[in-house]
Amino acid sequence: MPETMIKADGLVKIYKSKQTEVLALQGLDLEVEEGELTAIIGNSGSGKSTFLNMIGGLDKPSAGSLHVGGKNLFRMTEGELVRYKRDTVGFVWQNNGRNLLPYLSAIENVMLPMCLSGTHKRRAKAMELLEQVGMGAKKHSRMNMLSGGEQQRVAIAIALANSPKLLLADEPTGSVDTRTADYIFDVFTELNKGGQTVLIVTHDVALSKKVKRVVAIRDGKISSERVLKEIYADRLKESSIDWRKEDTQEEYAIVDRAGRVQIPAELLEAIGLKGNKVSVGVHDGKVVISNPQEKEAKEKEEKEHAEGKGKSK
Ligand X SMILES: Nc1ncnc2c1ncn2[C@@H]1O[C@H](COP(=O)(O)OP(=O)(O)O)[C@@H](O)[C@H]1O
Could you give phi then psi for residue 132, rounded to 5 degrees? -60, -35
Kindly tell me which of 57 and 172 has the beta carbon lying closer to Mg ion.
Answer: 172
| Residues that contact ligand X, how many (by CB under 6 A) | 11
Residue of minimal Cβ distance to Mg ion: 49
Q: How far is CA 28 from CA 7, 43, 47, in A?
A: 10, 16, 10
- List the one residue from 38, 46, 49, 189 that touches Mg ion (CB under 5 A): 49
- The partner in contact with residue 252, picked from Mg ion, ligand X, none with C-beta cut-offs of 5 to 8 angstroms by kind, is none
Nearest approach, Cβ of residue 57 and Mg ion (Å): 17
Nearest approach, Cβ of residue 63 and ligand X (Å): 15
Helix, strand, coil content of the chain in percent (nearest 5): 35, 30, 35
Nearest approach, Cβ of residue 294 and ligand X (Å): 36
Nearest approach, Cβ of residue 98 and ligand X (Å): 15
User: Is residue 49 within the footprint of ligand X (CB under 6 A)?
Assistant: yes
User: Is residue 48 within the footprint of ligand X (CB under 6 A)?
Assistant: yes
Q: From 37-45, 94-102, 133-141, 296-304, give the range in contact with ligand X by CB under 6 A.
A: 37-45
- The partner in contact with residue 44, picked from ligand X, Mg ion, none with C-beta cut-offs of 5 to 8 angstroms by kind, is ligand X
Q: Do residues 208 and 41 touch, judged by C-beta distance below 8 A?
A: yes
Cα dihedral 13, 221, 178, 161, rounded to 10, equals: 50
User: Is residue 208 within the footprint of ligand X (CB under 6 A)?
Assistant: no
**Side-chain-facing half-sphere of 256: CA atoms under 13 Å:** 19
Say if strands 213-218 and 37-41 run parallel, antiparallel, or are unpaired. parallel
- The partner in contact with residue 45, picked from ligand X, Mg ion, none with C-beta cut-offs of 5 to 8 angstroms by kind, is ligand X
User: Is residue 24 within the footprint of ligand X (CB under 6 A)?
Assistant: yes
Nearest approach, Cβ of residue 132 and ligand X (Å): 28
User: Is residue 15 within the footprint of ligand X (CB under 6 A)?
Assistant: yes
In whole angstroms, give the CA distance from residue 254 to residue 67. 21
Kindly tell me which of 4 and 26 has the beta carbon lying closer to ligand X.
Answer: 26
- The partner in contact with residue 164, picked from Mg ion, ligand X, none with C-beta cut-offs of 5 to 8 angstroms by kind, is none
User: Is residue 169 within the footprint of ligand X (CB under 6 A)?
Assistant: no
Q: How far is CA 280 from CA 82, 285, 286, in A?
A: 49, 13, 10
Q: Which amino acid is at 31?
A: E
Rounded to the nearest 10 degrees, what angle do helices 148-159 and 119-132 cross at?
130
Kindly tell me which of 14 and 241 has the beta carbon lying closer to ligand X.
Answer: 14
Q: From 48-56, 103-111, 258-266, 272-280, give the range in contact with Mg ion by CB under 5 A.
A: 48-56
Beta-carbon neighbour count of residue 246 at 10 Å? 14
Could you give phi then psi for residue 195, rounded to 5 degrees? 105, -5
Q: How far is CA 155 from CA 38, 147, 165, 185, 188, in A?
A: 19, 12, 17, 13, 12
User: Is residue 22 within the footprint of ligand X (CB under 6 A)?
Assistant: yes
Give which of 143, 139, 197, 207 is closest to 172, Cα–Cα: 207
Nearest approach, Cβ of residue 44 and Mg ion (Å): 7
Nearest approach, Cβ of residue 217 and Mg ion (Å): 10
Nearest approach, Cβ of residue 49 and ligand X (Å): 3
The runs of H, that is alpha helices, within the chain are 48-55, 78-87, 106-111, 119-132, 148-159, 178-193, 205-208, 265-270, 292-312
Kindly tell me which of 49 and 196 has the beta carbon lying closer to Mg ion.
Answer: 49
Residues that bind ligand X in the complex, under the rule CB under 6 A = 15, 22, 24, 42, 44-50
